Structure 1
Amino acid sequence: MPETQKDLVLPFADASAIVRSHQKDSYYESYLARMLSECAAALRGTRFAIANNNSFEMLSKLVYLALTTVMAKRTLGEEYVDLVYVSSDGKRLAPTSQKAWFAMSYAIIPFMISKLLSKIKATKEQMEYDYDDDDDDDTNNDSQENTSWSQRAVTKLVPWYQWLRKLNTLMEINLAIFYLFGSYYNLSKRITGLRYAFGHAIPENQPSNNKMITGYKVLGSLMLVKTALSYASSITCYLNEKLVNSAANSQDVGKLAGTVEDSGLIHDVASALHGPNTTIDLSNEKKLPYLKGRSRSCMLCLLNMVNPTSLPCGHCCCWNCIIDWCKDHNECPLCRAKIDNQFIPLR
Structure 2
Amino acid sequence: MSSSSPSTRIPSFPLAQQAQIIRAHQRDLIHVSSLREQTENILRSWFGTRWLTRFDKEVDLSVRLIYHALTTGRAIQTLGEEYTNIWIHPKWARSPRIRAALILLSTLPSYVLARLGPPLYSRYPRSKGIVTALEVAGEVNLAVFYISGVYYRLVRRLLGVPHISATPIDPNTRPPSYSLLGILILVRMGYRLLSYLRARSPQLAPGPAPALLVLTNRNLDDRPVSTLLKYDPEADLDSLDENLSVLDLETIPASVRAGRTCTLCLEERTSSCVTECGHLFDWNCIYNWGRERAECPLCRQSLNLTRLLPIYNL
Using structure 2 for the length normalisation, give the TM-score.
0.58
> Any conservation in 1 of the 2:73–2:103 contact (CA below 8 Å)?
yes
Question: Which amino acid letter does the alignment assign opposite residue 89 of structure 2?
Answer: V
Number of positions where the alignment pairs a residue of Structure 1 with one of Structure 2: 204
Question: Which amino acid letter does the alignment assign opposite residue 169 of structure 2?
Answer: I
Aligned to 1:240: 202
Aligned to 1:189: 156
Pairwise mapping of residues 167-246 of structure 1 onto structure 2 (< 5 A)?
A: 167-205=134-172, 207-209=173-175, 212-213=176-177, 216-240=178-202
Using structure 1 for the length normalisation, give the TM-score.
0.53
User: d(CA) in 1 for partners of 2:168 and 2:127?
Assistant: 49
Q: Which runs of 5+ in 2 are unaligned?
A: 1-10, 218-223, 225-314
Structure 1 pair 220–244 and aligned structure 2 pair: CA distance change class (3 A):
closer
Aligned to 2:115: 115
Aligned to 1:94: 93
User: d(CA) in 1 for partners of 2:137 and 2:51?
Assistant: 32
Offset at residue 243 of structure 1 (A): 9.7
The percent identity for this pair of structures is 25
Partner of 2:77, secondary structure, is coil
Partner of 1:84, secondary structure, is strand
User: d(CA) in 2 for partners of 1:165 and 1:235?
Assistant: 15
Aligned to 2:49: 46
Offset at residue 164 of structure 1 (A): 2.8
> Any conservation in 2 of the 1:38–1:49 contact (CA below 8 Å)?
no
Structure 1 pair 159–200 and aligned structure 2 pair: CA distance change class (3 A):
closer
Offset at residue 13 of structure 1 (A): 1.0
Offset at residue 30 of structure 1 (A): 0.7
User: d(CA) in 2 for partners of 1:46 and 1:16?
Assistant: 39
Query: Aligned pair 1:30/2:44, yes or no?
Result: no
Offset at residue 47 of structure 1 (A): 1.7
Structure 1 pair 60–204 and aligned structure 2 pair: CA distance change class (3 A):
same
Instruction: Please provide the CA RMSD for this pair.
Output: 3.1
> Any conservation in 2 of the 1:59–1:107 contact (CA below 8 Å)?
no
Structure 1 pair 270–30 and aligned structure 2 pair: CA distance change class (3 A):
closer
Structure with greater Cα Rg: 1
Question: Which amino acid letter does the alignment assign opposite residue 59 of structure 1?
Answer: S
Offset at residue 103 of structure 1 (A): 0.7
Question: Which amino acid letter does the alignment assign opposite residue 62 of structure 1?
Answer: L
Runs of 4+ in 1 over 6 A off after TM superposition: 241-245
> Any conservation in 1 of the 2:198–2:205 contact (CA below 8 Å)?
no
Equivalent residue in structure 1 for 2:128, among 153, 161, 169 = 161
User: d(CA) in 2 for partners of 1:167 and 1:45?
Assistant: 36
